[in-house]
Amino acid sequence: MEYVVAAAPQPSLPVAGTQARYPVRRVYCVGRNYLAHIREFGNDEKALPFFFAKAPDMIVESGTTVPYPPLTQNFQHEVELVAAIGKTGANIPAEKALDYVYGYAIGFDMTRRDLQQIAAKSGRPWDIGKSFDHAAPCGAIYPVAQVGHFTEGEIKLTVNGQVRQQSDVNLLIWDVAHIIHHLSQQVTLATGDLIYTGTPEGVGPVVSGDTIVGHIAKLGELTIHIA
């Protein structure tokens, strides 16, 4: 194929236990999926899951130093379980949904909170708060064949060694199967799609020089430094 400008490289993530990598196609995130996090912002506790997106090249790997992003005074961490899709499908029933998962990872849904809240208040899209360079750190993908599915397990985030978020993935309001069920009614899911499943309570700001470490049982660690 000949292109008129340089083609962007295919974003991808390492896969635990192999040299082969997981090619990223789309990045979806679930809003408000832990009750205690909904309550810390005073949002509707009974709403259906809703989704927003980041671009695949906003993925950054563990160990990366990312610049503090422009335009914000309130750059926040959100640690999340990430499901990596391994099979194409639409209108997937919840009972079959886990067959579509290739593996899992730890992700950070990094957020320019001040800009997100201004956008929300003005009825504008969230993109300025959620979708920007380096906004989607993601750890290595662990195949389901190695780690199984996640109905429970500690999820934790530390900043400079201090615990900021600590919960359990058994507190997800919409589990991975129901997230896939709902999202696949909205769009066709395909291999390479990542779904960030929502963050527990305890979100907060980071500043230049901070080191953020995420941990989910069986999924290793995700470490990001803020330049």
Q: Which residues bind Mn ion (CB under 5 A)?
A: 78, 109, 199
Are 142 and 218 spatial neighbours (Cβ–Cβ below 8 Å)?
yes
Taking CB positions, which residue lies at the least distance from Mn ion?
Answer: 109
- For residues 167 and 199, which CB has a smaller minimum distance to Mn ion in the complex? 199
Closer residue to Mn ion, CB minimum distance, 109 or 192: 109
Residue 56 backbone dihedrals phi, psi, to 5 degrees: -60, -30
Least Å from the CB of residue 75 to Mn ion:
14
CB 189 within 8 A of CB 180: yes
CB of 146 to Mn ion, least distance (A): 25
The minimum distance between CB 143 and Mn ion, in angstroms, equals 24
Closer by beta carbon to Mn ion, 41 or else 93:
41
Tokens of 198: 């929502």
Q: 55 in helix, strand or coil?
A: coil
Count of Cβ atoms closer than 10 Å to residue 74 Cβ? 15
In the bound state with Mn ion, the residue whose beta carbon lies nearer, of 15 and 78, is 78
CB of 33 to Mn ion, least distance (A): 8
Cβ 168 to Mn ion, closest distance in Å?
Answer: 17
97 near 176, Cβ under 8 Å?
yes
Distance CA 69, CA 225 (A): 13
* Distance, CA of 211 to CA of 65 (rounded, Å): 9
Of the two residues 116 and 199, which places its CB atom closer to Mn ion in the complex?
Answer: 199
